[in-house]
């Protein structure tokens, strides 16, 4: 008997960065992210539970992609503890992204969260559980997604997610992300993110290698304290729409710290490109000249996320078309926004 499940799951962009881990994708500091909408993975998982030997097929945009298989195999092996049927199952994954692979946009968060959703759904079918999709169900999915890729655990919640233990936030955990929507002003529910693709090349250093380099960094514990302090400051700034200066200061500082950490290690590396630096200067100039509260954040790569309130969407689009597009590889950018989290595909 073949069981199947299909889910669409978004990418997310961290405002407070997770950089440094221990154990099985346990974070050294809390992180806080916007869940995106346009950048997502649509996945269909088909499983024959009693096939005999484990067997995995992975299709990406309809064609086999053997290069993705090793990472998924590691994840499925970790998942055997939670879903023993995986040991003898034939698994077929049919996955596609709304954003081009190799556009330098992290796809592991959307892909691994989509896979965790499909697996949990199939596990429920195998165990004939009532499929009540309640708060506990989402935390379970978030925990599984974390085993695939740390940041993926934040993609399962609408609007914002907090991952990592924070004293005084009793629901917070290192094991999974918790929803962070009710805690913020509705003004942020509609925030915009224009992703400027400065380079579409594969990253020269993977995030796994980057996390590992934090182990030898003399400044690591200072960074983790700073990230914790910034998380609190950002949580407070997100409570109303009139603390945008503080919101901007923290977002940009976190992005710059992430890249500074890469440059400060014993084996330094640099993922920003000349275009990244030019855009950062353009953002500072534009904000000063127009008073439009647009700021930037960066992922582990050269591409720049412009974050701004929805009411400035037309102004920002004009500025991108007139000025910033020259820094984008092949003029490529994506207009994304804060989104409502994963959805089952029927």
Instruction: Select from 172, 199, 207, 231 the one that contacts ligand PMV (CB under 6 A).
Output: 207
Q: Provide the angle, in degrees to the nearest 10, between the axes of the packed helices 244-264 and 220-237.
A: 160
Assess 149 for contact with ligand PMV (CB under 6 A): yes
Is the CB of 47 or the CB of 197 nearer to ligand PMV? 197
Assess 95 for contact with ligand PMV (CB under 6 A): no
HSE at residue 3, side-chain half, CA atoms within 13 A, is 20
Is the CB of 232 or the CB of 312 nearer to ligand PMV? 232
Is the CB of 43 or the CB of 258 nearer to ligand PMV? 258
At closest approach, how far in Å is the CB of 119 from ligand PMV?
18
At closest approach, how far in Å is the CB of 260 from ligand PMV?
13
161 vs 113: CA distance, rounded Å: 13
111 vs 216: CA distance, rounded Å: 30
Is the CB of 59 or the CB of 205 nearer to ligand PMV? 205
Instruction: Select from 184, 196, 300, 320 the one that contacts ligand PMV (CB under 6 A).
Output: 300
Is the CB of 6 or the CB of 303 nearer to ligand PMV? 303
Is the CB of 237 or the CB of 262 nearer to ligand PMV? 262
Q: What angle do CA 144, 181, 188 make, to 5 degrees?
A: 125
At closest approach, how far in Å is the CB of 335 from ligand PMV?
20
Is the CB of 192 or the CB of 211 nearer to ligand PMV? 211
Backbone angles phi, psi at 299, to 5 degrees: -95, -170
Backbone angles phi, psi at 281, to 5 degrees: -65, -40
Q: How far is CA 256 from CA 15, 33, 94, 276, 280, in A?
A: 11, 16, 36, 11, 10
Q: Pick from 346, 336, 344: which is nearest to 9 by CA?
A: 344
In the range 261-280, which residues lie near ligand PMV by CB under 6 A? none
Contact 144, 177 (CB under 8 A): no
Backbone angles phi, psi at 201, to 5 degrees: -75, 155
Assess 43 for contact with ligand PMV (CB under 6 A): no
Contact 309, 293 (CB under 8 A): yes
223 vs 201: CA distance, rounded Å: 29
According to DSSP, the residues that pair with 35 across neighbouring strands are 12
Which one of 126-134, 146-154, 273-281, 327-335 is the stretch in contact with ligand PMV (CB under 6 A)? Answer: 146-154
Instruction: Select from 41, 143, 151, 276 the one that contacts ligand PMV (CB under 6 A).
Output: 151
Instruction: Select from 108, 172, 199, 303 the one that contacts ligand PMV (CB under 6 A).
Output: 108
Is the CB of 7 or the CB of 163 nearer to ligand PMV? 163
| Total chain residues near ligand PMV (CB under 6 A) | 15
Q: How far apart are the first and last CA of the chain?
A: 19
In the range 7-26, which residues lie near ligand PMV by CB under 6 A? 14, 17-19
Q: Which residues bind ligand PMV (CB under 6 A)?
A: 14, 17-19, 31, 106, 108, 149-151, 207, 211, 258, 299-300
């Amino acid at each position: 008997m073949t069981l199947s499940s299909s889910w669409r799951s978004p990418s997310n962009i961290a405002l407070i960065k997770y950089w440094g881990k221990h154990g099985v994708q346990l974070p050294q500091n809390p992180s806080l992210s916007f869940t995106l909408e346009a950048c997502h993975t649509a996945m269909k998982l088909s499983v024959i539970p009693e096939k005999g030997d484990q067997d995995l097929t992975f299709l990406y945009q309809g064609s086999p992609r053997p290069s993705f298989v090793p990472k998924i195999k590691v994840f499925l092996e970790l998942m055997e503890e939670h879903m023993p049927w995986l040991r003898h199952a034939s698994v077929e994954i049919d996955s596609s992204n709304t954003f081009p692979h190799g556009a330098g946009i992290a796809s592991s968060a959307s892909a691994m969260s989509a896979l965790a959703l499909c697996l949990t759904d199939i596990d429920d079918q195998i165990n004939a559980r009532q499929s009540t999709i309640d708060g506990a169900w989402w935390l379970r999915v978030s925990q599984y997604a974390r085993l695939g890729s740390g940041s993926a655990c934040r993609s399962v919640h609408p609007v914002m997610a907090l991952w990592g233990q924070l004293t005084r936030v009793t629901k917070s955990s290192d094991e999974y992300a918790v929803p962070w929507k009710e805690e913020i002003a509705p003004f942020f529910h509609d925030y915009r993110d224009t992703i400027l693709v400065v380079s579409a090349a594969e990253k020269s250093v993977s995030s796994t290698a980057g996390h590992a380099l934090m182990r030898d960094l003399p400044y690591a514990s200072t960074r983790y304290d700073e990230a914790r302090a910034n998380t609190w400051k950002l949580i407070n700034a997100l409570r109303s729409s009139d603390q945008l200066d503080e919101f901007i200061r923290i977002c940009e500082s976190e992005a710059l710290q992430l890249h500074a950490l890469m440059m400060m290690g014993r084996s330094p590396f640099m993922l920003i490109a000349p275009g990244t630096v030019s855009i950062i200067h353009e953002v500072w100039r534009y904000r000063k000249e127009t008073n439009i509260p647009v700021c930037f954040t960066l992922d582990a790569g050269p591409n720049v996320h412009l974050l701004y309130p929805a009411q400035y969407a037309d102004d920002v689009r004009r500025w991108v078309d007139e000025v910033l597009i020259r820094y984008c590889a092949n003029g490529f950018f994506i207009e994304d926004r804060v989104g409502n989290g994963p959805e089952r595909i029927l």
